[in-house]
């Protein structure tokens, strides 16, 4: 189908860096969806992350639209768009570049039906959806800030940074962080490292977590272990004196960390095969409290083990075996804890109680 006539808008070009120009312009909000699309986050068959946006929230969109339909509506905050290289900027004749930028005309191609749009929404998805649904007679100009790049990684990076102070879904943030290559604030940098290890565990064909951790690209009855539980194990162990403390080095050894975790939890899955194959409702081993407690046990079991050694897994199995008769993952009552197997909850108190119990049982068996 023939491409539509391009959209031309007056714009200010600002060069914060020479390779990625910024454009500030106003446009009828109903038109933004004609040249900018949503990159919904999902994974392909190989587990590669594609896109970065969350699903639209229908109720929120309806609330925004109801507000925008009022004559007194005001929407002063700009939406952020990433434009590909097909957009063209032409400076006004005789315009001198100032410290603030250059005025000119930004030409944005409008694709025909089924053709790829030149823009991707980085911030303002819900607002743009609401604007696009306004009645044809309701014009509502909005401010757009666009940056021009062909890099998906840069788009994802800006999406993470723009949303780091907003209620971005935790699991979506964990999916996106490993793709961000630029500087991040210290807490988010540490989370990026842990999330990178998590993604290795999720998609390694030999990992006991493959197909088990909830997230993009995973589904089915067996996908029932929370990202937060596994991330907690990684982040605690990466602190000083943990077996993953080398993740604090620059650069962090993501591969070694994932190998250590993979080996230990292979031992866990083999020692308690039935409990590992269950769900958090039927087995406390794959519940948040169990994953946390086994992460604590990992710190003592994995001491002195070379993950590259052929004896690594047999050694782990031998060290875990004495714990087996003391665990009540799927039935019965926990000795000394004075509670039924399913009374343990994902609370700080219960995680500490179960961890202390397992460590004491492990020490007494040595």
- Percent of the chain surpassing pLDDT 90: 49
pLDDT digits (tens, 9 = 90+) for 95-129: 656 667 889 999 999 987 778 889 888 888 888 88
Across 163-181, b (16+ Cβ under 10 Å) vs e yields: beeeeeeebbbbbbbbbbe
More confident residue, 243 or 72: 243
Contact 15, 127 (CB under 8 A): no
Highest average pLDDT, of 33-47, 141-155, 228-242, comes from 228-242
pLDDT digits (tens, 9 = 90+) for 253-264: 999 999 999 999
Q: Residue 298's pLDDT band (boundaries 50, 70, 90)?
A: very high
The residue-averaged pLDDT of 281-296 equals 96
Q: Is the pTM of this model over 0.75?
A: no
Identify the sign of the CA torsion 273, 274, 276, 277: positive
Structure tokens belonging to residue 170: 């935790």
**C-alpha–C-alpha distance, residues 177 and 240, integer Å:** 23
Crossing angle of helices 58-68 and 125-132, in 10° steps, is 60
Q: Residue 5's pLDDT band (boundaries 50, 70, 90)?
A: confident
Closest-CA residue to 59 (of 7, 130, 139): 130
167 has pLDDT over 60? no
**C-alpha–C-alpha distance, residues 52 and 157, integer Å:** 9
Identify the sign of the CA torsion 310, 315, 320, 322: positive
3 has pLDDT over 60? no
pLDDT value of position 57 = 55
The residue-averaged pLDDT of 220-234 equals 89
148 has pLDDT over 50? yes
41 has pLDDT over 50? no
Average pLDDT, the chain: 85
pLDDT digits (tens, 9 = 90+) for 308-335: 999 999 999 999 999 999 999 999 999 8
pLDDT value of position 217 = 63
pLDDT value of position 206 = 93
Q: Residue 171's pLDDT band (boundaries 50, 70, 90)?
A: low
* Helix segments in the chain, DSSP class H: 32-35, 58-68, 125-132, 152-162, 170-176, 186-203, 227-237, 254-271, 273-276, 288-301, 312-320, 348-365
45 has pLDDT over 60? no
Our CA dihedral for 136, 138, 139, 145, rounded to 10 degrees, sits at -90
The residue-averaged pLDDT of 245-272 equals 94
The residue-averaged pLDDT of 352-357 equals 96
pLDDT digits (tens, 9 = 90+) for 133-143: 898 889 999 99
| Contacts with 159 (C-beta within 8 Å, 6 or more apart), sequence order | 52, 53, 122, 123, 176
pLDDT value of position 260 = 96
281 has pLDDT over 50? yes
Closest-CA residue to 226 (of 143, 133, 346): 346
Q: Residue 192's pLDDT band (boundaries 50, 70, 90)?
A: confident
């Amino acid at each position: 189908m023939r491409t539509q006539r391009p959209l031309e808008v007056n714009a200010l070009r600002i060069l914060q860096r020479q390779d990625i120009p910024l454009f500030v312009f106003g446009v009828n909000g109903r038109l933004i969806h004609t040249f900018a699309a949503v990159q919904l986050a999902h994974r392909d068959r190989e587990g590669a992350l594609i896109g970065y946006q969350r699903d639209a929230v229908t109720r929120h969109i309806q609330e925004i639209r109801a507000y925008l339909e009022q004559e007194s509506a005001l929407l002063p905050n700009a939406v952020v768009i990433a434009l590909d290289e097909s957009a063209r900027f032409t400076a006004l004749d005789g315009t001198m570049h100032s410290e603030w930028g250059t005025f000119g005309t930004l030409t944005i191609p409008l694709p025909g039906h089924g053709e790829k749009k030149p823009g991707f929404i980085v911030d303002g998805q819900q607002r743009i959806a609401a604007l696009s649904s306004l009645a044809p007679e309701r014009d509502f100009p909005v401010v757009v800030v666009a940056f021009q790049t062909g890099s998906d990684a840069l788009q994802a990076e800006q999406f993470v940074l723009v949303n780091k102070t907003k209620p971005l879904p935790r699991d979506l943030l964990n999916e996106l962080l490993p793709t961000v290559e630029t500087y991040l604030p210290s807490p988010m940098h540490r989370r990026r490292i842990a999330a990178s290890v998590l993604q290795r565990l999720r998609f390694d064909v030999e990992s006991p977590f493959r197909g088990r951790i909830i997230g993009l690209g995973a589904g089915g009855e067996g996908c029932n272990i929370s990202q937060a539980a596994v991330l907690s194990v990684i982040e605690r162990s990466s602190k000083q004196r943990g077996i993953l403390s080398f993740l604090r080095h620059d650069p962090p050894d993501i591969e070694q960390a994932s190998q250590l975790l993979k080996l230990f939890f292979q031992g866990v899955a083999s020692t308690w095969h039935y409990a590992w194959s269950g769900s958090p409702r039927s087995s406390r081993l794959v519940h948040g409290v169990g994953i946390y407690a086994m992460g604590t046990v990992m710190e003592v079991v994995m001491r002195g083990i070379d993950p590259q050694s052929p004896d690594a897994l047999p050694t782990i199995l031998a060290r875990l075996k004495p714990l087996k008769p003391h665990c009540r993952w799927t039935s019965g009552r926990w000795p000394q804890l004075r509670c039924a197997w399913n009374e343990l909850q994902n609370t700080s108190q219960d995680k500490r109680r179960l961890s202390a119990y397992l460590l004491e049982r492990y020490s007494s068996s040595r």
